[in-house]
Structure 1
Amino acid sequence: MLTTPSTPAGNRSAPSVLVVDDEPVIREFVCEILEGEGMTAVPMESADTAAAYLNEHVEDVDILITDIRMPGSMDGAGLANLVANKWPQIPIIVMSGYETPATASIRCKVRFLPKPWSIGQLLDSVSGVAYSAVPSN
């Protein structure tokens, strides 16, 4: 079951992850894996919808996972750069089977997850950025 966060990011023990991928199967699979680990997953089908969501709900997002190549006025590289500039507190994980952050002109610090990835690699990437994303209480 895909959920929308209802608790502000600072009041949760598990991170809320914005998952952006234009491929429904990949997007739903990532969300299912994260929710199975107790996280909140917020699925978005494009960088454009993710940017609009962040403008309204940035306090509900701890981590961004985005594919690089996506249709729309902005791709995942543009989204990563936007998030790093506007909301630098949000760690970013980028996925791609075609490009790297350097070839996609990503100008910010990201964790790169090459496709195809394993479930363990996905969870390791999220764990690697989650400690900096969710404040300890």
Structure 2
Amino acid sequence: MRHGKILVVEDDPMLRMDATLLFEEAGFDVAEFDSADDALAYVWDCTEEVAAIFTDVEMLGSASGFDLAAIVISAWPHIAVLVTSGFHSDAPDDLPSRARFIPKPWHPAEVLGFVKGNVSHH
């Protein structure tokens, strides 16, 4: 079963692994990144492969998860974006309406429900 690639963008290796396993077990192809900058570079090169992005907010690099969400939704509206954070309890007012925010610790069913509900099956 293939739905398109999910990008997991998280600087904490354990949380990144947890999210990757969650998506892989649900039948998704996953690409992992530890910064929004690296994930954005991948999206530029492989736009058609990417179905959704699950990103943390605070990471090393010049872009935050909020920046990544704004850029991706503006340039590639077909990509679903789910943003999570342990430091922010709410999404900022300027988060695009098509992006969704959930605080950490996130629940696997909520994360999978969002992705499955927003990713078209190819």
TM-score by length of 1: 0.80
Q: Is the 8 A contact 2:2 2:29 kept in 1?
A: no
Query: Does residue 32 of structure 2 align to residue 40 of structure 1?
Result: no
Q: Is the 8 A contact 1:83 1:90 kept in 2?
A: yes
Deviation, 1:109, is 2.1
Deviation, 1:13, is 3.8
Structure 2: gaps (5+ residues)? none
Q: Is the 8 A contact 2:3 2:51 kept in 1?
A: no
Instruction: Give the SS at the match of 2:15.
Output: helix
Aligned twin of 2:61: 72
Query: Does residue 118 of structure 2 align to residue 134 of structure 1?
Result: no
Aligned twin of 1:101: 91
Structure 1: gaps (5+ residues)? 1-11
Aligned counterparts of 1:43 and 1:23: Cα–Cα separation in 2: 11
Aligned twin of 1:118: 107
Report which of the two structures shows the higher radius of gyration computed on alpha carbons.
1
For residues 13-68 of structure 1, the C-alpha deviation after alignment (integer angstroms, 9 at most, x for no partner) is: 42320110111111111001110111111101100000111111111101111111
User: If each structure's strand is expressed as a fraction of its own residues, which one has the higher value?
Assistant: 2
Aligned twin of 1:5: none
For residues 68-106 of structure 1, the C-alpha deviation after alignment (integer angstroms, 9 at most, x for no partner) is: 111211111111011011111111111112222226x42
Deviation, 1:108, is 4.2
Aligned twin of 2:52: 63
Q: How many residues end up aligned between the 2 structures?
A: 121
Aligned twin of 1:3: none
Aligned counterparts of 1:91 and 1:27: Cα–Cα separation in 2: 18
Q: What is the 5 A alignment of 1:47-58?
A: 47-58=36-47
**AA paired with 1:102?**
P
Could you tell me which of 79, 85, 89 is aligned with 1:90? 79
